[in-house]
């Protein structure tokens, strides 16, 4: 039985981050479709599940790797945004954050230093804020 599976999966793409995400999303949609009693969600979940299996069993590994790379780029962009927000919340007690009026880059300044002149390291713009 195990040899059969190994032989069957030879040359196929297998599981990657994107197909794992699709499977989890399908499970979440399945639960939501049961809770909310919406048939459309069930079909969407079924589609996602079939698509994730199609990706796992696909022999076109180059295309599947490109899709996975695209997914990883997008997921990194989304999670890094949340990560930076979380870091800012954790540092809120000791630092203040100011966006640069020139380039909108956010700068971190220690709290309680009075009125200070801040120089943007990105564009060199100077502005005064109370820290
Ligand atoms: Zn700037």
pLDDT at res. 117: 95
Report the predicted TM-score, pTM, of the whole model to 2 decimal places.
0.67
Gap from CA of 66 to ligand 1 centroid (Å): 35
Gap from CA of 104 to ligand 1 centroid (Å): 6
pLDDT at res. 97: 93
Q: Is the pLDDT of residue 2 over 90?
A: no
Q: Is the pLDDT of residue 116 over 90?
A: yes
pLDDT in tens, 39-49: 999 999 999 99
Gap from CA of 40 to ligand 1 centroid (Å): 47
Gap from CA of 114 to ligand 1 centroid (Å): 21
Alpha helices, DSSP H, located in 58-100: 61-91
pLDDT at res. 1: 77
Rounded CA-CA distance 130/109 in Å is: 10
């Amino acid at each position: 039985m195990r040899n059969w599976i190994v032989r069957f999966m030879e040359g196929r793409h297998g599981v990657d981050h994107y197909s794992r995400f699709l499977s989890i999303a399908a499970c979440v949609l399945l639960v939501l479709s049961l809770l909310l009693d919406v048939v459309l969600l069930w079909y969407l979940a079924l589609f996602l599940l079939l698509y994730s299996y199609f990706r796992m069993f696909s022999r076109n590994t180059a295309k599947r790797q490109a899709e996975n790379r695209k997914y990883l780029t997008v997921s990194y962009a989304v999670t890094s945004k949340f990560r930076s927000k979380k870091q800012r919340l954790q540092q809120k007690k000791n630092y203040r954050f100011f966006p640069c009026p020139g380039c909108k880059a956010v700068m971190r300044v220690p709290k309680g230093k009075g009125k200070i002149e801040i120089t943007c390291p990105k564009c060199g713009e100077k502005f005064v804020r109370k820290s």
